[in-house]
Amino acid sequence: MHIANPIYDVVFKYMLEDNKVAKLFLSAIIGEEIMELEFSAQERTVEIPTSKKVKKQTMERSPLTVCRFDFSAKIKTPDGFKTVIIELQKAKYLADLMRFRRYLGLHYQSPDNTSDAKQEKARQIYCIYFLAYGVDLPPRPVLKVDYKVQDAYTGDEFEVSGEFVTGLHHRSWIVQMNELKERRRNDLEKILSIFDQSNLTELRHIIDVDDENFPEEYRLIIRRLRKAMEDPKKRREMELEDDIVKELQDLERLIEHKENIIVNQNKTIADKDQTIADKDQTIADKDQTIADKDQTIADKDQIIAALEKQLVNFKQFE
């Protein structure tokens, strides 16, 4: 089945705007059943302004976003229910690491991310990161980062679910989209095949998904992405996103080129300064050599004077 490529921010956002799809998708990632899901009041998507060149091509506002989604989720547990904050971010560039830290810090500081009227009980935070670039992590499609409570001496682990641990530590799931190729070991990896760029058609906006092996209960996801593919407006937005990303890449290359020029100029200046310093040192060495020779001559003159004086004294003694 052909679907819109969700690696595009506009498609990814469109997919998660459907509440049923978002619940299915996020439940599969975190491995817990989400009963209710809603965007929190702090949902953030940062639009990147288009250049004059791109604006000439379309009158639409730029759809390219830095994808940041905040959800409030009610999750079913063996003991009942719990409410957590799910922070989801999708990144294309390594520089986004510091942005992740700043954004997570906002959640920890916000008094709205609490579960009681007095705003004293912090809700647990789940972080989900979709990465489109390689990082220094094990080469696996999905990695789970979870806190552990251990005896520092024996290494024994303890089951702890108290507010102190859950309120000050967070669980994370890292989806490495470039590691999805041919990985279909469970339902989650089958679901995430929608991001496998090795399944691109002739058009990079379209992914070919094996719908026969796609888990039946999650087919609502691919139907949503099929709908995005059939929407002419979404197709135009993907083309516009391509134009903007290309401009950003061209800008990055230009900045890198200028930085290299500056580095080379600084190196040339440093080399010249070193040459001048070397010349100054050579002059100083020559001056020292002359001074040493002058001192040697002075010492010799003093020795000669002393010998002449001894000679005079010797003649007088005769």
Q: What is the pLDDT of residues 145-183, one digit of tens each?
A: 987 888 888 989 888 766 777 667 778 999 998 898 877
Listed in sequence order, the residues at least 6 apart from 23 whose beta carbon sits closer than 8 Å to its beta carbon are: 34, 37
Residue 134 Ramachandran class (φ > 0 left, ψ -120 to 50 alpha, else beta):
beta
For residue 19, being part of any structural domain is answered with yes
For residue 220, being part of any structural domain is answered with yes
Residue 239: closest CA among 66, 93, 64: 64
> pLDDT-derived band of residue 123, with 50, 70 and 90 as boundaries?
confident
* 18-69 confidence digits (pLDDT tens): 999 999 999 999 999 999 998 864 444 444 454 554 444 443 444 344 578 8
Taking the alpha carbons at both ends of the chain, their separation in whole angstroms is 128
For residue 152, being part of any structural domain is answered with yes
Question: Apex CA 241: angle with CA 238 and CA 244, to 5°?
Answer: 160
Helices and strands (DSSP H and E) totals, the chain: 8, 11
CA Rg, the chain, in Å? 35
Residue 3, pLDDT > 90, answer: yes
Residue 129 near residue 174 (C-beta atoms within 8 A)? yes
More confident residue, 113 or 146: 146
Answer whether 0.75 is exceeded by the pTM.
no
The domain of 8 spans 2-230
Provide the 3-class DSSP secondary structure of residue 85. strand
| Percent of the chain whose pLDDT exceeds 90 | 32
C-alpha distances (whole Å) from 64 to each of 59, 69, 157 are 14, 14, 44
Q: Cα(105)–Cα(119) distance, rounded to whole angstroms? A: 17
For residue 293, being part of any structural domain is answered with no
The total number of structural domains in the chain stands at 1
Residue 50: closest CA among 295, 285, 220, 240: 240
Token pair, residue 111, equals 């008094």
Listed in sequence order, the residues at least 6 apart from 14 whose beta carbon sits closer than 8 Å to its beta carbon are: 4, 224, 228, 234
Listed in sequence order, the residues at least 6 apart from 101 whose beta carbon sits closer than 8 Å to its beta carbon are: none
Q: What is the mean pLDDT of residues 66-76?
A: 85
For residue 259, being part of any structural domain is answered with no
287 DSSP β-pair partners: none
C-alpha distances (whole Å) from 175 to each of 75, 88, 213 are 21, 11, 20
Q: Cα(271)–Cα(253) distance, rounded to whole angstroms? A: 26
For residue 74, being part of any structural domain is answered with yes
For residue 127, being part of any structural domain is answered with yes
Sign of CA dihedral 272, 273, 276, 278: negative
Question: Which of 153-162, 183-192, 217-226 shows the lowest per-residue confidence on average (mean pLDDT)?
Answer: 153-162
Q: What is the mean pLDDT of residues 97-116?
A: 55
- How is residue 61 annotated by DSSP? P
Q: Cα(1)–Cα(50) distance, rounded to whole angstroms? A: 33
Q: Cα(185)–Cα(193) distance, rounded to whole angstroms? A: 11
For residue 16, being part of any structural domain is answered with yes
